[in-house]
Amino acid sequence: MENDTQGDTGLKDFRFTGTAREWFGIWIVNLLLSIVTLGIYSAWAKVRRKRYFYQNTWVVDRNFDYHATGKQILIGRIIVVVGFILYSFLSAIPALALLLAGVLVFAIPWLITRSLAFNARMSSWSNVRFDFAGRTWSAFLVFIMYPLLSALTLFTTYPFVTQAKQEFITENHRLGTAEFSMESGVKPFYVALLKAILWVAAAISAIVLLGAAGVIVVSELDSNLATPSPDLAVPSAWREVLEVLTVYGFFFLIIFPAFTVYSVMVRNAVLNAAELDGKHRFRSDIRAREVIWIVMSNVVAIVCTLGLMIPWAQIRMARYLADHTYAVPKGSVDEFVGTQQAANSAVGDAFTDLEGVDLGVAF
């Protein structure tokens, strides 16, 4: 790793140093204890998982860390579960159903902002805490109103929704007092949607052509038989198997690749347009075909080992994402970190006592 120098604009690779063997030991204990405690320990398991992956992710010779406790995660989950139960019971009363539906519409953006704030404040890099300053009203527009308006256009404006969501998430994050920004037009998001649609069209066309060819072959075989053989009939059990395979094939050959193409291109567009403190930039060059290959082969490995290869698959994906993500610092990183640590020290300790809601909203 290069030393930090004034005006340095070289790429600094993210690195992931975790290993499948090490993570397997943590993962299996998390799994067994979560089963024994009927899911209660899963709150602590989540903390151990996030802390392991954070602490093993490095950039500019500094790693990330996660500071939440299992108690905080559990309290957040209890709040959400109790709220859901109350909503289910009270919504059965006709007079309250409409009112509660309206409350829920505004509760969802509030929960999203709480989740983003909690995850940010429980995370740090080089002992500098992150923060999130997003407001509920802005989240309501981005996560509720914009998707509804996009539906009225048959989702032809969905790239605008994606851009708005990413801007809301990115530009409301802080590292210490340094603000993140994202300067990107909507074009990359439309290109991502277009490529996803093209994949769907190409995949469906290929399947239709193969199906038509199969029908022609079967028709030719039938025409050459003087008396159709009952042995050629497909048993009902096999038909059910074929139906299941068709559903899975539709997902893995059409839906999943299209979703991956869109997600990968959005990630690259967001990180390539993001800045920290108006000068430190980022780069991402992950490729959809590589992600698809990793996920598909991970699924095969997990199925063949009855789930025991899950830790290996998780480590593999984390390492790939880190290897294709870069920071482009401008100026001395040591000076930047020192400034943020000094500014952050007054409020940093308060974050450790924050009880919050964690919905797993990703940044």
- Report how many domains make up the chain: 1
Tens-digit pLDDT profile for residues 206-217: 877 877 776 676
pLDDT of residue 2 exceeding 60, the answer is: no
Domain presence at residue 344: yes
Residue 134: inside a domain: yes
pLDDT at position 224 is 60
pLDDT > 80? residue 349: no
Nearest to 320, CA basis, from 348, 280, 289, 281: 289
pLDDT of residue 287: 96
Q: Give 178-213 as a 3 state SS string.
A: EEEEECCCCHHHHHHHHHHHHHHHHHHHHHHHHHHH
Decide if 359 is inside a domain. Answer: no
Contacts of 258-263 spanning 24+ positions with Cβ under 8 A? 258/196, 258/197, 258/199, 258/200, 258/203, 259/196, 260/288, 260/291, 260/292, 260/295, 261/192, 261/195, 261/196, 261/199, 261/288, 262/192, 262/193, 262/195, 262/196
Q: Flag whether pLDDT at 26 surpasses 70.
A: yes
Spatial CB neighbours of 199, under 8 Å, sequence gap ≥ 6: 254, 257, 258, 261
Structure tokens at 17: 């140093």
Evaluate whether residue 243 is within a structural domain: yes
Percent of the chain with pLDDT over 90: 60
With a CB cutoff of 8 Å and minimum separation 6, the contacts of 24 are 311, 312
Residue 298 lies in a domain: no
Q: What is the mean pLDDT of the chain?
A: 85
Listed ranges 10-24, 229-243, 257-271; the one with the highest mean pLDDT:
257-271
Taking alpha carbons only, the member of 147, 169, 166 closest to residue 158 is 147
Residues near 248 by beta carbon (within 8 Å), at least 6 away in sequence: none
Domain with 331, as residue range(s), is 12-17+56-286+324-351
**Residue 335 located in a structural domain:** yes
Yes or no: say if 335 and 3 are a contact pair by the CB < 8 Å rule.
no
Three-state secondary structure call for residue 332: coil
| Confidence category of residue 248, pLDDT binned at 50, 70, 90 | confident
What is residue 49's predicted lDDT score, i.e. its pLDDT? 97
What gap in Å lies between CA 144 and CA 169, rounded to an integer?
15
Q: Check pLDDT > 60 for residue 342.
A: yes
Neighbours of 122 (CB within 10 A): 25
Residues 146-204 pLDDT 10s: 999 999 999 999 999 999 999 999 999 999 999 999 998 999 999 999 999 999 999 88
For the chain, the first-to-last Cα distance in angstroms comes to 26
* Residue at 147 is within a domain: yes
Is 262 a domain residue? yes
3-state secondary structure of 223: helix
